[in-house]
Every structure is written in structure tokens, then in C-alpha cells.
A = this chain, B = another copy of it.
Amino acid sequence: MSVTFEQIQAAAQRIAPHIHRTPLLQSTLLNQLTGAELYFKAEHLQKTGAFKARGAHNAVFSLTDEEAARGVVTHSSGNHAAALALAAQRRGIRADIVMPSNASVAKMDAVRGYGGHIHRCEPTLLSRESTAAALQRESERVFIHPFDNDAVIAGQGTVGLEITEQLAAPADVVITPVGGGGLLAGCATAIKAQWPQCQMIGAEPFGSDNATRSFHSGERVTSYQSETVCDGLRAVIGQRNFELIKTQVDDIQLVGDDTILHAMRLVWSRLKQVIEPSAAVALALVLANPTAFRGKKVVVVLTGGNLDLDRLLW
């Protein structure tokens, strides 16, 4: 196994000075609506507004001084970009972030706000990877992949570890969104180590279904789709991630964008929490399958709260 429970425990200690221990939120009204006992792990309240801060900090603070001195590089249009910039800033090293030309102004501003150096590229995976690879070669910078990286997976796994510490008795089900699979793989490893009877489920949008197809066929599907409002979940599931998910996750299920937006709206109106569409997929799965979760104690991970309010509101 590439990432162990002990590595997640070590990650939790390593990143504790830099990240928030986020609360588990509850809502009487959402419990009534779903018939489930729901706990919302509030990673939209995490540093940088997303769980990605955990993996990035664990990766950056796991580097030797010699490695750290060379700086870090990644490609990301989203929350990993800001997370890596902040982690590098906290360690006092340089971060070079390759961002596609269609990345939002808000996301780029966040990276710059944390002192990251942005390099623009074409909005294709090929352009992102080649631009990052060139930067990496240039000064032997350390490449920190957004999800297909053991230290990143272990960092994201601390979400699961915290959940097991925060609830007095095991949950029946834990659900996380799945994109590249870092959060799902890390959480599954932590949850199954502590609560072997707990069901671990991934939730994926119909418009980006490669993790579901990979899980059910047993072969990693690498075709890339992005027909979903969940801009944080458009990645292809990682190799390391898939190996962990295959053995430790009970199921990955699909849900539609309409249900995802409805779930997002419920979180805004009932929990009064600003979450991004990608963060609503786990609750959407509960709403779409009410009988499956009724009467159960279900933890739903709210992954992030970064979205362009200008496009919605003002």
C-alpha cells in the first residue's frame, strides 16, 4: 500500500501548526429533510478555503532542506494552486504555479496573495504538464502533483482522521467528492483503519465519470471529460489514488449537476455556508438516494468554498 494509516497520523502532526481543525456542522432541517443524521465536515473553512491546504502542507513540510531550497512547482487551475503557494510561503521557499489561461481571476489573485509565481499556459492537460516539466528541469524544482502524490494523499487523509476523532461513535457512512482521488483515497485509508465497519463512498458528477468507470471495471479509465459545473472534479483519477481506492472504498456513485446545484443551494440557505459546486456532490448523493441513507449516521465532506461570487451575485 502506498499510503498507510501511520503516514496519515504523521501528516496530521506535521501540518497541525499550519491548518485549521475544521468543525463538523449539523442542521436539524437537513436531518428532517433527508431522514439521516448528517455531519458536514467543513473544509470550506480550511486555510485557503479548501482541504487542499492539508496535502500541500504535508508535501512541502515533508521535503528535506536541500529539496525545499530548490523550490516547488505544480500545475493547477484551482484550489491546489493556492494551497501550494501558501505552504511554500509558510516554509519560506519559492512556489512556481502553472495555471491555464482560462483560470479565474479570483484563483490567480489568491496564488499571488500567497506569494506564488504564476506561469500561464494553454488550457490543455498537455500544455500544463509540459510547462510544469520545463520549469521543473530548469532549476531542479520539486514537482508536487495535485493528487497523484503520496504526501498529498496522506495530507488529505487527515480529514478522515479528524472525523474519527470528532465523533464519539463511528459513522455508518462517510462520503467525499472524487476528482483526482486524493481526498477519497486518503480518507478511505484513515476511516477504514479506525472504523472498519464504516461504508466509504465516493460521489462523482455524471459529466466527469472516470473514477466511477475505473472503480467498476477495475481498470483505470484515463479519458478526460469536463461536462460538469464541478470545476474542481474534472481531473482523471490518479494511479496511486486508484490503487488505494480499489481496495478501501466500498462504492463510487454518480450524481447529476441539477442535484448538485440543489444541494449547494440547501447548504447556502440552511447551513448558511458558502460552498463551491464541487463541494456539494456528497450531499447531492444523499438527496438523490434518500432510502439508502435514511436512519443512518452519515458524514459528508464539504471540500471547499472558493467560487467567483461576481458571476453569481454582483
Q: Is A273 an interface residue (CB 8 A)?
A: yes
Q: Which of B274, B309, B312, B314 contacts A273 (CB 8 A)?
A: B274
Q: Which residues of B contact A274 (CB under 8 A)?
A: 268-269, 272-274
Interface positions, chain A 262-299, Cβ under 8 Å from B, are: 265, 268-269, 272-275
Per-residue B-contact encoding for A27-59, CB less than 8 Å = 1, 0 else: 000000000000000001100010000000000
Q: Is A313 an interface residue (CB 8 A)?
A: yes
Q: Which residues of B contact A268 (CB under 8 A)?
A: 274, 309, 313
How many residues in A have their beta carbons less than 8 Å from beta carbons of B?
16
Output the least CB separation between A41 and chain B (Å). Answer: 14
A265 and B305 contacting across the interface, CB-CB below 8 Å:
no
B312 and A272 contacting across the interface, CB-CB below 8 Å:
no
B265 and A314 contacting across the interface, CB-CB below 8 Å:
yes
Question: If the complex has contacts A272-B44, A273-B272, A273-B274, are A265 and B49 also in contact, measured as CB distance less than 8 A?
Answer: no
Interface positions, chain A 122-157, Cβ under 8 Å from B, are: none
CA distance A312 to B313 in the complex (A): 5
Output the least CB separation between A19 and chain B (Å). Answer: 12
Output the least CB separation between A311 and chain B (Å). Answer: 10
B309 and A269 contacting across the interface, CB-CB below 8 Å:
yes
Output the least CB separation between A50 and chain B (Å). Answer: 10
Residue of B nearest to A261 (CB): B314
Q: Which residues of B contact A314 (CB under 8 A)?
A: 261, 265
Output the least CB separation between A205 and chain B (Å). Answer: 18
**Candidate in A45, A49, A274, A305 with the most chain B CB atoms within 10 angstroms:** A274
B312 and A49 contacting across the interface, CB-CB below 8 Å:
no
Q: Which residues of B contact A312 (CB under 8 A)?
A: 312-313
A interface residues with partner B (beta carbon < 8 Å): 44-45, 49, 261, 265, 268-269, 272-275, 305, 309, 312-314
Give 12 CB contacts A-B under 8 Å.
Answer: A44-B272, A45-B272, A261-B314, A265-B309, A265-B313, A268-B274, A268-B309, A269-B274, A272-B273, A272-B275, A274-B274, A313-B313
Apart from A268-B274, A269-B274, A273-B274, list 17 A-B contacts with CB within 8 A. Answer: A44-B272, A45-B272, A49-B272, A265-B309, A265-B313, A265-B314, A268-B309, A269-B309, A272-B273, A272-B274, A272-B275, A272-B305, A273-B273, A274-B274, A312-B312, A312-B313, A313-B313
